[in-house]
Structure 1
Amino acid sequence: MKYKAHIKCIICLIWAGLWLLTSNSTGQGARVAGEKGVASSTSQENPEARKSDRRRPPPRRRPTPQRPVREKEKAIPKKVIDEKKRVPKKEKPETRYVTIDFDNVDITIFIKFISELTGKNFVIDRAVKGKVTIISPTKITAKEAYKVFESVLEVHGYAAIPAGKIIKIVPALQARSKDIETRLRKEAITPEDRVVTQLIPLRYADPNELKKLFGPFISKTSVIVSYTPTGMLIVTDVLSNIKRLLSIIEVIDVEGIGEEISVIPLEHATASVLGKSLTTVFQRGRVTRGKKVVPGAPVVRIVPDERTNSLITLASEDDTARIKQLINLLDKETPRGEGDIHVHYLQNAIAEDLAKVLMAIPGQDVKAPQKGKAPVISKEVHIVADKATNSLVITAKKDDFLVLEDVIKKLDIARKMVYIEALIMEVDVDKDFKLGVEWRGMTEGHSGGGFIGSGGIGDTGAYDIFPEISGTQTVTATFPSGFSLGVLGAPITISGVIFPSIGAVVRNYQNDSDVHILSTPQILTTDNEEAEINVGENVPYLTKEASGDQQYSTYEYKDVGVKLKITPQINQERFVRLKIFQEVIKLKKGTASFTPTTLKRTAETTVIVKDENTVVIGGIIGESTERGRYKTPCLGSIPVLRRLGTSSYRTRNKTNLFIFLTPRIIENPVEAKKIYEEKREEIDRVQEGVIRMYDKRGRKKEDIQLSDLGYRHLQAKEYDKAKEYFEKALEINPDNPYAILNMGVIYEWEGKRDEAIKMYERVISLSPEDRDFSASDPERKGRKLLDIAKDNLKNLEKEGR
Structure 2
Amino acid sequence: MVRLIQANGCQDEEDLTVEQRQKKGYLFRAVSIVIAFLVITAVWGADTGGGLQEGKAGEKAVTIDFDGVDIVVFIKFISELTGKNFVIDSAVRGNVTVISPTRITPQEAYMVFESVLDVHGYAAVPAGNIIKIIPAAQTRGQNVETRLRESAVSPSDKVVTRIVPLSYANADEIKKILDPLVSKGSIIVSYPPAGMLVVTDLLSNIQRLLKIIEAVDVQGMGEQITVVPLTYGSAAPMAKSISGLFQDTSRKTKRDATPEPIIKVIADERTNSLIVLASEADTAKIRELIKLLDREPVRGEGDVRVYYLQNAKAEDMAKVLMAIPVAPAGKEQEKGKTPILSKEVQIVADKSTNSLVITAGKDDWQVLEEVIRKLDITRRMVYIEALLMEVSVAKDFELGVEWRGAEKTGSIDGRQIVTFGASTSQPSAFPGVNTGTQSVTLPLGFSLGVLGEGISIGGFLFPNIGAVVRAYQKDSDVHILSTPQIMTTDNEDAEIQVGKNVPYLTRQDTSQSGIDYSHYEYKDVGVTLQITPQINQDRFVRLKIMQEVSQVIKEESSVGLPTTLKRMAKTTVIVKDGHTIVIGGLIDDTMNSGVYRVPCLGGIPGLGNFFRTESSNTGKTNLFVFLTPHIIEYVSEADGLYREKKEQIDKVKEGSIKMYERKGGK
With the length of structure 2 as denominator, give the TM-score of the two structures: 0.43
Higher relative contact order (CA 8 A, sep 6+): 2
The structure where helix makes up a greater share of residues is 1
With the length of structure 1 as denominator, give the TM-score of the two structures: 0.37
The structure where strand makes up a greater share of residues is 2
The structure with more radius of gyration: 1
